[in-house]
Amino acid sequence: MVPQEWELVVLGKLKWNLAAVTPHDFIEHIVKKLPLPSDKLPLIRKHAQTFIALCATALSFSTQEWELVVLGKLKWNLAAVTPHDFIEHIVKKLPLPSDKLPLIRKHAQTFIALCATDFNFAMYPPSMIATGSVGAAICGLQLDDGERTLWGENLTDLLAKITNTEVDCLKACQEQIETVLVSNLRQVRQQQQQQQQQQGGGSKAVEELDQAATPTDVRDINL
């Protein structure tokens, strides 16, 4: 059976008139076959009809152009500012040794990624998350004696001035970041313990992993 004949059979079974069939005719048939909540059906129909209308005016669109059209209709802004956008701005304002900049950037980016997994950080603006992440990265690197101007209160005050944030809010944000890091490290240790116990590892290694405390040097952690 050629494709056109197959289509005619299907249309005959559905009792649809070929001369009057449009994409809109398929919406109800498809929707009725799906286990969808009744309160969502009007919105689903509306969106489907919108996309069908787009098809009528954009048949020659490429995949990328289609994505832009859909994003435009949904009013999604892909150019929104994220914490990553602030890292370079903050780092360039700090008196940091050039040889440590790549590691600080890497750790700050890792902390930002951790923040994205915790809904508590939704209350903070991107600039504060970036500032707290950079601060946590610098504090964890144990800078040399000559660089101790970037420790404790001095570092917090300097970071607050760079991004024009409140010191207390910045401290709270950085403490939360460090808490998330410790929590993730504890989970990793527990997984390592379970793996070693399953593999019959020695008790000494298990005892060492059981000491779940904040690491003294984040360079010892494979981020």
Domain extents in the chain: 3-74, 84-220
Token duo for residue 56:
């009528």
Whether the predicted pLDDT of 218 surpasses 90: no
Write out the CATH class of domain 84-220: mainly alpha
Structural contact between residues 49 and 27, judged by C-beta atoms closer than 8 angstroms: yes
Least confident of 11-20, 63-72, 200-209: 200-209
What pLDDT, in 10s, does the model give residues 112-147?
998 888 888 888 899 999 999 998 888 877 655 455
Helix axes 152-163, 126-140, angle to 10 degrees: 150
Selection from 126, 137, 127, 222 nearest residue 177 by Cα = 137
Give the type of residue at 40.
K
Of 133, 144, 130, 132, the C-alpha closest to 100 is: 144
Mean pLDDT score across all residues of the chain = 76
Query: What whole-number distance in Å separates Cα of residue 39 and Cα of residue 17?
Result: 30
Q: Which residue is it, tokens 């602030």?
A: 86
Q: Among positive and negative, which fits the CA dihedral 100, 101, 107, 111?
A: positive
| C-alpha distance across the termini of the chain, in Å | 59
Residue 215, amino acid: P
* Residue 19 banded pLDDT, cuts 50, 70, 90: low
For the residues 187-199, what does the mean pLDDT come to? 81
Task: For the chain, give the number of residues.
Answer: 223
Higher pLDDT, 218 or 29: 29
